[in-house]
Amino acid sequence: MSKHIKDTDYLAISARIRAMEGSLLTRERMEQILEARSDEDAAKLLHECGYPELDASRPEAMDAALSAAREAVLEDLAGGAPDPRYIDLFKLKYDYHNVKALLKAAAVGADPSHMLMDMGRVSTAVLREALETGHLEELPDLLAQAVEEAREVLDTTRDPQLSDIVLDRWTYREMTQLAGDTGSAFLLGYVRTQIDAANLRTLIRVARMGKSGEFLRGVLLSGGEVPPESMEKAGAAGAAGITELYAPTRFQAAAEAGAQALQGGPLTEFERLCDDAVADYLDTARYVPFGEAPLIGYLAARETEYTNLRILLMGRSMGLDPDVIRSRLRAGCV
């Protein structure tokens, strides 16, 4: 049995994180990058913030550079985190992403290399060999179970969407179990909030497609604060039911935007507000002096920063209006 970890065990790393928070991109710096006269000027500003050269005209190279920066942060903090499972939580989603890519590529005889992201707990080389040979014992137990079920569904139905649904369910199942095993109420709340965001997205998309309540029941995730049964009833009632269900929650604004999107409008604002609701939960970590909450909050803030940089740099390279780019940026800047 592992020793009990106390909040005070995080004193040293919490102090480091408070110092590292100063390197997060502020809204003002994001605005400077957005308004930079040239891509070279934008890259220079990012370099001054500690980023390697990022070239939006070469998306693969830009993603590789952002991935390398992310890995460096995780490796740095892993050495000082009393419980490595907090780091694992931010890695495991990439394991499941890679399984999706590998299974789909195998089904059509394609090379998945360009879709793989070597940012998970398991290297893409090890994961690829495990799936190709069927020797899954090298994988974490729940991931191995997920591979077996998803492969069976794909082999039986030949429907990659159903296989993805299986893997999404296992992703959040493992995140929930990992969070529960740590004993951290803050981490478990973070996972539950992510599940609520995923379910709200599903609810709106299913409603837009005109799918049945039975279909919705099959794709909703358990483990969030909003029960799937309540979402089913809200979906049957349409836009009014959805806004009423989420009115007393942090997803009120997202649900209202989703209800508007049911009329056929774009989902961009709705998607952004779902992410902002998760950021609103994480914002409470700012007021915790030490413990696991500052670590989780910082790692999530970095994830949001990487997302915003992709949106910003790709938007610039496409010549999008700055106001359009601003409307897509997620909350989370300091």
- Give the predicted TM-score (pTM) of the model: 0.86
CA distances in angstroms from 27 to 65, 308, 324, listed in the order given: 22, 11, 16
Say if residues 43 and 54 touch (Cβ distance below 8 Å): yes
Instruction: Give Cα 63 distance to the centre of its chain.
Output: 15
Reply yes or no on whether the pLDDT at 106 is more than 60: yes
Output DSSP code: residue 220: P
DSSP annotation of 329 reads: P
Q: How confident is the model at residue 334 (pLDDT cuts 50, 70, 90)?
A: very low
What mean pLDDT is predicted for residues 120-137?
94
Pairwise CA distance, residues 210 & 179, whole Å = 35
**51-84 pLDDT, tens digit each:** 877 776 777 777 788 888 888 888 888 877 788 8
Q: For residues 295 and 86, what is the distance between their CA atoms, to the nearest angstrom?
A: 8
Q: Where are the alpha helices (DSSP H) in 210-267?
A: 213-219, 228-237, 239-246, 252-261
- b/e map 41-58, b = 16+ CB within 10 Å: ebbebbeeeebeebebee
